Structure 1
Amino acid sequence: MSSHRPPAADTAQPPAPEPAPSGAAPDGTPKPAVHPVDESRPLGRIVLFGIQHVLVMAATPISAIFLMSATLRLDPGLTVDLLSAAFVLSGVGSLIQSLGPWKFGPRLPFVMLPGGAPLILFLAIAEQHGLRTATGAVVLTAAFSFVVLPLFSRLLKFFPALVIGTMIVIVGVNLMKVGAVLVTGRPGEPGFADTTNLALGMATIGFTVVFYLVFTGVLRQLAVMLGLVAGTVTAGLLGRFDLGGVAEGGLISLPQAMPFGSPQFSLVAALPLMLYSLASMAEATGQTVINAEAVGKRIDPRTDVPRTVRGDALTSLFGGFFGLPLMVTSGENIGIVRVTGVRSRFVTAAAGVVLVVIGFLTPVTRAISVVPSAVVGGTAMVVFGVITVLGVQMLGRSDLDGHTSTFVCAVALALGLLPILVPGVYGGFPPNVRILLESGVAVGAFVAAVLNVLFHHVRPRFGARPTTPRAGGDR
């Protein structure tokens, strides 16, 4: 594995290595070299680089809370409270993963975010069983992660790139559909397919494309956020953006604990999230290894990956009591690390502090909360489209040239996408069964994992590649 390369290989890892500080201790003995990941920098530069990370990833918690608010029809005050909690918990999680207290966090430049597949599962549970049960499911899943972590290494073989890639494609398609609903509205409801909202959504996507086309380097990394800002300005020019209530509610506010009431616990309702958490652990493995490679630091996955998973679980445990979905580590910041060459984990720790401060500043969270949903939807479609592409890329590394892998992927996609493409298809089933079947992500991951075991473990000869050339029609 690349994380176990000899020390000389570190110099070949992008970005170019930073010079390690040298010198001698007061007694004349040489000081040990400090790896760039652990290197401290002047406070002003650390904060500046940290703000840059925040600007790149801020669209994700904004999109997540807007999706929650629009889907569950939450009132504006509750939306502001949830947005505040999302920023604070993202900051706390980033601090845990970057600083690595005790056995939590791998001490790598990580940031944490809500959203993705856990958000969709959270929304499905909330719509079926209520918000209190959904928050209880988050708490149960976080506790479940701690329980199964010692067995996790034995389960990894059941979640290869074929399974995870299929799951991520389903996640991306589902999220793009939800983001599109923010732009168009729900079919059959007043204002559906409003032309102004459609124009705002398309304009936001267009701005993002233009910024990504004309900019390079760090500004290109900020194209999504700049597109969101440009779309908001356009909405203001069209009279769809009102800042009148931004100054209300004082300057400082604390996120509200248990905003939906005390959590209710149901193992059946939490099962889709628990199933996803196993795949999330496999994803955390890849995130940790890739992050370590990006900064040129050798790690031991057997000890560092569990630290990442513990950080995820601890942050999610707190987040559940503040009404949030599962919190996960993000790979968005790794691109900035590669572009800037700044590998210090204290930069993402500074980003965590900035996120916490933003969460406590009422005017900032209120200003963010009044961004038109059509603008956020346009941004979300781009961000979640990238998730779909990442799933496709992962599938590209899964030997899809072999008939068996293609068959496994096809069946999992068919069953996983069915409830997404045809809503209500399982409406005649009992509620407890329906919540499992209507979770396309959970169904797709489960089917892919089971078929992978059957074809590649129980009957490995089914997965053997042919030794003779095949005609084009054989595919």
Structure 2
Amino acid sequence: MVAAPVSTAFLTADALRLTGPQTASLLSVTLLLCGAGTLLQSLGPWRIGARLPFVMLPGGAATALFLQVAGEHGAATASGSVILAALLLLAVLPLYARAVRLFPPLVMGVTVLLIGVSMVRVAAGLVTGGPGRPAAPSALLLAAATVGCVLLAYLLLRGVWRQSAVLLGMAGGTALAAVTGLGSFTPPGEAAAALPAPLPYGVPQFDLLAALPLLVFSLTSLAEATGQTVLNSETVGRAADPGRDVPRVARADAVASLLAGVFGAAPLVTSSENIGISRLTGVRSRYVTAGAGVLLVLCGLLAPISRLLAGIPPAVVGGSALVVYAVIAVMGVQMLRRVDLDDRVNVMVAATALAAGLLPVLSPGLYDAFPGWVRGVLGSGVVAGALTAVLLHGLFRLRPRARTAPDPRPAAEARTVSAGRPPDA
């Protein structure tokens, strides 16, 4: 559980160019909120949390969207967007059954794939020092070496060490930088520990158009929470009850993310990573995850490692981020595999949504001549692709089923072959 908060806090700090004390504060609040969120999910007080062995971690896709909003509109707007997304999630919970239908696997797969692709470009900026800048050869070598360390850790290790491959890769890349001279490891001289400070970027700015990526994500998270809750219930031997448990899971996510927005962190999500550990080890008690949450809270209050983390070279962070965001893109592909892509309607919806989402990624200045609200919607690949997928999926669902029947030619060709003639006769 420590690997994700630590690596995510540093990725965020480097992308936002935070100072040493700000980085320490961000790491502290991330650990504290992950621990508190895990306690909520495990113990479930006041119907906040499902009383299942869940852990709460920074979401990879949510962090990517947070950094995207911060890069385009500023950190204060990103914090306001996190708060708006958390409030939206709380508001739609009474309509959970209806809201989740807007985001079937087809829409979620396209959205997650676009998030991964968009953020690979952001990770490249960490390596080069900024979007569109040429990279120094030493920075590229250091980023490549970091990726190699991540892959070696993942291939050679097992269990919890394997899950920490990204963090171990960052450690390996930093060691290589110090030994080979490809980069420098220079921790700042500030105090090693820092308690969380509210509103680190100033008063949050609330911009609905800028917040659209995170608003869409907050709705899609309901569908993901449904699958995780059912799977976790089956793992612990409890009868699955999504109507009761999913709103409780989402409510804990919303509360933790609301606090994250106040303290300048990215949204937090309930993680499914520990479900695999529960299945492998047979340890299924929610009090075990509650104990882990207590440890995270203690780590957040005593965060001496933050000063060391602030000295990690940016190219190392960029190399590890390339792996993280590429994995997110692969998760989108995995979601699309659950969709019947032999259906021409599904193919057309996915293709059109991907085109709408990739256009602003591949051609960043495409909508510069349009009004600001148009740039806010269409200029974000994630928002443009997700909205296109939702609208087209809803539109085609209204059409009569007969109009989207499969192509009859394969059956006709089969009859021709059975009659002794080649298919193209």
TM over 0.5: yes
Aligned partner of 1:411 among 348, 352, 355: 352
Q: Is the Cα–Cα contact under 8 Å of residues 404 and 462 in structure 1 kept in the other structure?
A: no
Which of 117, 126, 129 aligns to 2:61? It is 117
* Letter paired with 1:225: L
SS in 2 for 1:469: helix
Alignment root-mean-square deviation, CA:
2.5
Shift of 1:400: 0.7
Residue 255 of structure 1 corresponds to which residue in structure 2? 196
| Residues 212 and 383, structure 2, Cα contact 8 Å, conserved in 1 | no
- The change in CA–CA distance for 1:267 and 1:208 in structure 2 (over 3 A counts) is closer
Asked if 1 retains the 8 angstrom alpha-carbon contact of 2:76 and 2:205, the reply is yes
Matches within 5 A, 1:13-412: 53-54=1-2, 58=3, 60-187=4-131, 189=133, 192-239=134-181, 240-242=183-185, 244-245=187-188, 248-249=190-191, 252-412=193-353
**Which residue pairs with 2:417 in the alignment?**
none
How far apart are residue 76 of structure 1 and its match? Answer: 3.2
Contact map agreement 1:359 1:365 (CA 8 A) in 2:
no
Letter of the 2:251 counterpart: R
Report how far residue 115 of structure 1 moved: 4.1
Q: How many pairs does the alignment contain? A: 413
SS in 2 for 1:102: helix
Contact 1:218 1:339 in 2 (8 A): no
8 Å contact 1:358–1:364 — kept in the other structure? no
Residues 180/342 of structure 1: CA separation in 2 closer, same or farther (3 Å cut)? farther
Aligned residues of 1:408 and 1:451 also touching (Cα < 8 A): yes
Cα deviation, 1:143-162, whole Å, max 9, x if unaligned, reads 12111111121122221111
SS of structure 1 residue aligned to 2:198: coil
Residues 244 and 452 of structure 1: CA distance in aligned 2, closer, same or farther (over 3 Å)? closer
CA distance in 1 between counterparts of 2:97 and 2:258 reads 22
Normalised to the residue count of structure 1, the TM-score between the two structures is 0.80
- On the 8 A contact 2:7/2:167 being kept in 1, the answer is no
Q: Offset of 1:467 from its aligned partner? A: 6.1
Q: Note the alpha carbon deviations across 1:143-195, whole angstroms, 9 max, x for none.
A: 12111111121122221111111111111112222223222332554xx4222
Which residue is equivalent to 1:27? none
Output the CA distance in 1 between the equivalents of 2:73 and 2:321: 26
463-472 vs 389-398, greater mean Cα deviation? 463-472
Conserved? CA contact 1:87–1:356, under 8 Å: yes
Mapped contact 1:91–1:351 kept (Cα < 8 A): yes
Report which stretch shifted further, 71-80 or 460-469: 460-469
Partner-residue secondary structure (3-state), 1:434: helix
In the superposition, the TM-score normalised over structure 2's length comes to 0.89
The answer on whether the counterparts of 1:182 and 1:377 sit within 8 Å (CA) in structure 2 is: yes
Give the superposition deviation at 1:371: 1.9
* Structure 2 residue ranges without an equivalent (≥5): 415-422
1:136–1:263: 8 Å Cα contact kept in structure 2? yes
Aligned AA (2:344): H
Deviations 1:203-249 (A, max 9, x none): 12212222332334444333333322222222221343435536x31
Contact map agreement 1:292 1:299 (CA 8 A) in 2: yes
- Distance in 2 between the 1:226 and 1:120 partners? 21
Shift of 1:431: 2.3
Cα gap change, 1:227 to 1:302, in 2 (>3 Å): same
The alignment partner of 2:57 has SS state of strand
**Equivalent-residue separation in structure 2 for 1:434 and 1:275 (angstroms):** 17
CA contact (8 A) 1:90 1:352 kept: yes
CA distance in 2, matches of 1:128, 1:214: 39
**8 A contact 2:36–2:297 mirrored in 1:** yes
Q: Partner of 1:328: helix, strand, or coil?
A: strand
Equivalents in 2 of 1:188, 1:176: separation in Å? 13
In the alignment, the residues of structure 1 paired with residue 315 and residue 83 of structure 2 have an alpha-carbon distance, to the nearest angstrom, of: 32
Q: Distance in 2 between matches of 1:463 and 1:334?
A: 39
Preserved CA contact (<8 Å) 2:13 2:26:
no
8 Å CA contact 1:83–1:359 kept in 2: the answer is yes
